[in-house]
Amino acid sequence: MIRKTIFVTYPRSGHHWLMRCLQDYYGEEMVYCEHYTCCQTIPCAKQEANILKNHDFTLDLVIPEDWNVIVQYRNPQDAISSLYKVSKEKDYIKFIYDNLNWYYEWMRKWNKKKYFIVDYESRIANPIYTLNNVILNLSGESDLEKVKMVSYINNQIH
């Protein structure tokens, strides 16, 4: 059974890859709420939702006490450069400055020992290990052969 979990993610940190892997691993057991395209509430209005995503753009996100928290981030240079590529911002220097300040504020709030941390660079270096640890965090057990298969398939399309 998947624990109620919120993924607090810095944009462009591999969240969609991880969600594809988890959906393939858990199937219908995983009910996902993408905060910005769903109900925009925490907890989700869909009572069965057990995985939520939020970027905490305003740095005022409050997590229910009994929820599991997984934090995803990426090194600032790659994360912000990737974010710039999908933005409509014209002024690169202003974009970098604004987002670098936000990145450090975001990290100050979310990079804490009490949360389960998933950094993009570790995920790239060892996707099976990372995915297996996320699954262990979510449900307390994993099928390593299934994890390997899911990771392999999703790394081929990513």
**Residues of the chain below pLDDT 70:** 157-158
CA distances from 38 to 46, 54, 73, 95, 151 (A): 9, 11, 22, 28, 27
Residue 37: what pLDDT? 87
Helix (H, G, I), strand (E, B) or coil at 151: helix
Residue 135: what pLDDT? 98
Burial (Cβ within 10 Å: 0-12, 13-18, ≥19) of residue 70: buried
State which residues form the domain around 72: 5-157
Provide the CATH number for the domain around residue 131: 3.40.50.300
Residue 158: what pLDDT? 56
Residue 157: what pLDDT? 66
- Tally of domains within the chain: 1
Residue 70: what pLDDT? 98
